[in-house]
Amino acid sequence: MNYWLVKTEPSLYSITNLKLDKVTLWDMVRNYQARNFLKSMEVADFVLLYHSNVTDANGVYGLAQVKKVAIPDPTQFDRKSEGFDSGSAHDAPRWWSPTIGFKEIFQNPVLLHDLKKDSRLKQMQLLKRGNRLSVLPVSETEFNVIILLAKETR
DNA sequence: GCCAACGTTGGC
DNA sequence: GCCAACGTTGGC
């Protein structure tokens, strides 16, 4: 069992969209390190959904779970898609997408500000200087702390 | 809108 | 293989 955090711009795709869709293929990731993390996701892994590029409100907004391991991202072969990659061969796809399913929208979103001030989360990959990766591993401890913060009544 | 961080591209 | 230029991410 592994724990992950994926970033998304809510104006493009938010936890609410995932709730409506129930499941979604996590496509369009075009960074090799992030791709490697996507490929190592296993069914039932938990995935924290992080909203980025929100004025004053970046943070973890909900929880998802891996439903299917990664398949080749279909957008890389689609000429009409922004994700099209002419350098990717069908027999050796570059980009991969797991399917994730909706679990919950947090009662209290755990904002970036809250993550930063919690001493138990000092080691979080997300908080490392300049980390722009859109898919990151989260430790079990960090995951549990974030879930606790999300359930806290404030 | 600005800008730091950093990944990618391409000339040499 | 080096590295400058460029593009993107994402916090503020």
Residues A38-62: pLDDT tens digits? 999 999 999 999 999 998 899 999 9
Give the H/E segment covering residue A67.
strand A59-72
Query: In chain A, which residues from 28 to 47 place their CB closer than 7 Å to nucleic acid strand B?
Result: 31-33
For A110 and C5, how far is CA from C1' in angstroms?
Answer: 38
Residue type, A123: Q
pLDDT at residue A152, rounded to an integer: 83
Give, in Å, how far the C1' of C10 lies from the CA of A131: 9
The pair of three-digit structure tokens given for residue A114, joined into one six-digit string:
């809250």
The protein side of the strand C contact, defined by CB less than 7 Å from any of its atoms, consists of: A 7, 9, 52-55, 58, 112-113, 132-134
Nucleotides of strand B under 7 angstroms from a protein beta carbon: 4-8
Establish how many alpha carbons lie within 13 A of residue A124's alpha carbon, considering only the half-sphere containing its beta carbon.
26
**C1'-nearest nucleotide to the CA of A9:** C10
Per-residue pLDDT at A35 exceeds 90: yes
pLDDT for res A86: 86
**Helical H runs in chain A?**
15-21, 32-39, 112-117, 140-151
A86: Cβ–Cβ under 8 A, 6 or more apart, which residues? none
In which band, very low, low, confident or very high, does the pLDDT at A154 lie, cut at 50, 70 and 90?
low
Q: Which nucleotide has the shortest C1'-to-CA distance from A133?
A: C9
